[in-house]
């Protein structure tokens, strides 16, 4: 008979092959488990790309540049070159500080200084609260500026001396913007059984737009922001119904007392301030005009290992929205 | 009466109990049953592995897709500020469940990302909420970047 009684060392070959196959299967399953654990880890990592920080940097830089522009304008320099140089230096100094602070957290956040440009403007102001809204020569109906493409931070603080009237269109003090084509937008301040602020488009009626926001002088009217004593007045929509460039007029200026500020863009050669109606710089010289910066434009860069963001911004604090 | 046998049937066995038994048939039967059991075990193991691979691939694609969608929406937020440049890095794994995968950006009205595994055939769709237009494209999975180009957000290999 055939010898099929094999020796002890030959037994179990099939079992060995099967065990090896199952072992390989186990290894593959372990590799899959590793992949699943990595996926869980990936899913729990923060997906934040740093976009929020980039936008915060942008907003903070625009705000800071606006404050620098306003601060240098308020310093009342004697020449355009001086105010322009100081605004530029101020923004460059801010850039240096913020770049150094962000470098400490592995972030490049800076202003591209080669892109920085500032544009000229003129600040027109009256700081004597007891003075009427007349020109330096005492004219009651006068033009502050003509053909200005942009106006920002236009505010009046009316202290008193108001005309008592119920026909403001013909009797009250008003500040008027005259657009190209002749369309007008006016703000009236008068006394009609109480302090009243009215808004008028073109030849329409005077809309006493902001009741309840005030009761007596002094009243602070921000024409560009559309607020009265800090409260929003939707009807006070700056230059509604008109198109730039504008002329800025005061009518019946003797029928109100108070202060004002406005900055006009005098970069285009056609934009003109009526210099004969203003005095030179100096708080005792109300009303007076000052060289100022109207706006600044620059490119900012925000870069981390995960994100690169650049944006060109224009900063003109107090421009109407 | 019991008689001793010196043959391969063994010593001291009862010859009467061995009637109808063949040694060859015995071995063949044992082998056949063993092979059947072992092949069944191997087949079942293979099926479990395939099933686990498909599930792992699907989970991996979902995680990668959600991550890419979050970064895409972050880039969209930056692009809406009128930015000049937006580049957002999206580090993703090169392989999912041992296989490569592709990412397709569908720039239809309801923008979506479709991630498909090349080995298991698993496919995952992730919706994206965007205000900036997306550029339709298909890229292999791995380290990607979302770039603002020509007013559109584009997904590219980094």
**Nearest-5° Cα angle at B40, B37 to B44:** 140
pLDDT for A272 equals 94
What are the tokens at A289?
A: 């005009």
Looking at residues A102-121, what average pLDDT do you find? 93
CA distance B1 to chain A (A): 25
What are the tokens at A19?
A: 């065990």
For the cut 50, the answer to whether the pLDDT of residue A1 exceeds it is no
ipTM, two decimals: 0.74
Q: A49 with B72: CB under 8 angstroms?
A: no
Is there a contact between B42 and A308 if contact means CB atoms under 8 Å apart? no
> Is residue A202 within 8 angstroms of chain B, CB to CB?
no
Select from B8, B41, B85 the Cβ nearest to the Cβ of A308.
Answer: B85
Nearest-Cα residue of chain A relative to residue B39: A18
pLDDT for A317 equals 95
Looking at residues A122-138, what average pLDDT do you find? 94
Is there a contact between A14 and B78 if contact means CB atoms under 8 Å apart? no
What are the tokens at A71?
A: 């601060």
Q: Are strands B133-134 and B152-157 parallel, antiparallel or unpaired?
A: parallel
A155 bridge partner residues: A222, A261
Phi-psi region of B127 (alpha: psi -120 to 50; beta: other; left: phi over 0): beta
For the cut 50, the answer to whether the pLDDT of residue A173 exceeds it is yes
- Measure the N-to-C terminal CA separation of chain A; round to a whole number of Å: 108
pLDDT for A144 equals 96
Q: Which of B22, B65, B76, B86 is the best substitution to test chain A (most A C-beta atoms within 10 A)?
A: B86
Q: How confident is the model at residue B5 (pLDDT cuts 50, 70, 90)?
A: very low
Looking at residues B79-104, what average pLDDT do you find? 91
pLDDT for B15 equals 62
Q: How far apart are CA B57 and CA B157, in angstroms?
A: 21
> Is residue A47 within 8 angstroms of chain B, CB to CB?
yes
For the cut 90, the answer to whether the pLDDT of residue A131 exceeds it is yes
Give the per-residue SS3 of chain B: CCCCCCCCCCCCCCHHHHCCCCHHHHHHHHHHHHHHHHHHHHHHHHHHHHHHHHHHHHHHHHHHHHHHHHHHHHHHHHHCCCCCEEEEEECCCCCECCECEEEEEECCCCCEEEEEECCCCCEEEEECCCCCEECCEEEECCCEEEEEECCEEEEEEC
CA distance B109 to chain A (A): 25
Q: How far is CA B33 from CA A196, B22, B29, in A?
A: 106, 17, 6
Kind and range of the H or E run holding A119: strand A108-126
pLDDT for A142 equals 96
Q: How confident is the model at residue A285 (pLDDT cuts 50, 70, 90)?
A: confident
CA distance A91 to chain B (A): 20
pLDDT for A212 equals 61
pLDDT in tens, A191-236: 887 788 888 887 778 888 776 657 777 899 999 999 998 888 888 8
Over chain B, what is the mean pLDDT?
86
Q: A266 with A144: CB under 8 angstroms?
A: no
CA distance A217 to chain B (A): 41
Is there a contact between B42 and A312 if contact means CB atoms under 8 Å apart? no
CA distance B84 to chain A (A): 5
Q: Residue A253 carries which DSSP code?
A: G
CB atoms near residue A306 (< 10 Å): 17
pTM: 0.80
The lowest-confidence range among A143-157, A171-185, A257-271, B49-63 is: B49-63
- Side by side, which strands form the sheet with A151-160? A231-232, A227-228, A219-222, A151-160, A257-265, A108-126, A288-303, A307-315, B85-90, B144-149, B152-157, B133-134
- Interface size, chain A vs chain B, as Cβ–Cβ contacts under 8 Å: 114
CB atoms near residue B109 (< 10 Å): 5
Looking at residues B25-30, what average pLDDT do you find? 87
Q: Which positions ≥6 away from A260 have C-beta within 8 Å?
A: A124, A125, A126, A133, A154, A155, A156, A157, A175, A287
pLDDT for A47 equals 73
What stretches of A149-304 adopt beta strand conformation (E)?
A: 151-160, 173-178, 184-191, 195-201, 219-222, 227-228, 231-232, 246-251, 257-265, 272-273, 288-303
pLDDT for A17 equals 80
Kind and range of the H or E run holding A64: helix A51-74
The CA-based dihedral angle spanning residues A24, A27, A31, A36, taken in that order and rounded to the nearest 10 degrees: 110
pLDDT in tens, A34-89: 888 888 888 888 777 778 999 999 999 999 999 999 999 999 999 999 999 999 99
Is there a contact between A28 and B85 if contact means CB atoms under 8 Å apart? no
Select from B53, B83, B98 the Cβ nearest to the Cβ of A309.
Answer: B83
pLDDT in tens, B109-138: 788 999 999 888 889 999 998 899 999 999
CB atoms near residue A313 (< 10 Å): 17
Report chain A residues whose CB lies below 8 A from the CB of B85: 308-311
**Nearest-5° Cα angle at A285, A144 to A146:** 10
Looking at residues B65-70, what average pLDDT do you find? 93
More confident residue, A130 or A281: A130
pLDDT for A260 equals 96
Is there a contact between B63 and A15 if contact means CB atoms under 8 Å apart? no
């Amino acid at each position: 008979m055939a010898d099929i009684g094999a020796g002890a060392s030959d037994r179990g070959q099939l079992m060995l092959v099967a065990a090896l196959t199952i072992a390989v299967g186990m290894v593959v399953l372990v590799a899959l488990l590793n992949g699943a654990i990595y996926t869980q880890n990936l899913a729990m990592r923060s997906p934040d790309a740093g976009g929020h920080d980039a936008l915060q940097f942008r907003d903070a830089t625009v705000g800071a540049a606006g404050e620098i522009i306003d601060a240098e304008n308020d310093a009342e320099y004697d020449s355009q070159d001086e105010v322009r140089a100081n605004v530029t230096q101020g923004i460059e100094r801010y850039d240096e500080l913020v770049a150094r602070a962000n470098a400490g957290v592995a972030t490049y956040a800076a202003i591209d200084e080669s892109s920085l440009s500032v544009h000229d403007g003129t600040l027109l102001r009256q700081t004597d609260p007891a003075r009427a809204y007349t020109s330096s020569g005492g004219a009651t109906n006068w033009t502050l500026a003509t053909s200005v493409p942009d106006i920002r931070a236009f505010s009046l603080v009316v202290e008193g001396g108001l005309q008592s009237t119920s026909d403001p269109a013909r009797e009250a003090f008003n500040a008027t913007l005259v657009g190209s084509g002749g369309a007008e937008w006016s703000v009236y301040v008068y006394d009609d059984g109480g302090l009243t602020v009215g808004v008028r488009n073109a030849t329409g009626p005077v809309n006493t737009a902001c009741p309840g926001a005030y009761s007596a002088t002094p009243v602070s009217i921000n024409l560009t922001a559309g607020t009265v004593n800090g409260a929003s007045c939707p009807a006070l929509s700056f230059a509604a119904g008109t198109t730039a460039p504008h002329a800025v007029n005061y009518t019946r200026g003797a029928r109100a007392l108070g202060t004002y500020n406005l900055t006009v863009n005098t970069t285009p050669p056609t934009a003109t301030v009526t210099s004969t109606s203003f005095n030179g710089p100096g708080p005792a010289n109300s009303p007076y005009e000052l060289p100022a910066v109207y706006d600044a434009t620059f490119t900012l860069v925000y870069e981390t290992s995960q994100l690169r963001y650049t944006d060109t911004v224009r900063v003109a604090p107090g421009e109407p929205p | 009466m019991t008689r001793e046998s010196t043959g391969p049937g063994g010593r001291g066995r009862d010859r009467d109990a061995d009637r109808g038994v063949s040694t060859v048939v015995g071995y063949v039967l044992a082998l056949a049953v063993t092979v059947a059991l072992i092949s069944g075990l191997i087949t079942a193991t293979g099926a479990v592995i395939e099933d686990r691979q498909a599930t792992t691939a699907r989970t991996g694609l979902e995680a990668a897709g959600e991550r890419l969608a979050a970064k895409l929406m972050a880039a969209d937020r930056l692009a809406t500020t009128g930015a000049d440049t937006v580049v957002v890095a999206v580090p993703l794994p090169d392989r999912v469940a041992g296989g490569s995968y592709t990412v397709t950006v569908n720039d239809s009205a309801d923008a979506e990302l479709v991630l498909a595994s090349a080995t298991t055939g698993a496919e995952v769709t992730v919706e994206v909420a965007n205000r900036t237009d997306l550029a339709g494209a298909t890229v292999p999975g791995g380290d990607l970047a979302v770039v603002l180009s020509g007013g559109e957000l584009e997904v590219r290999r980094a």
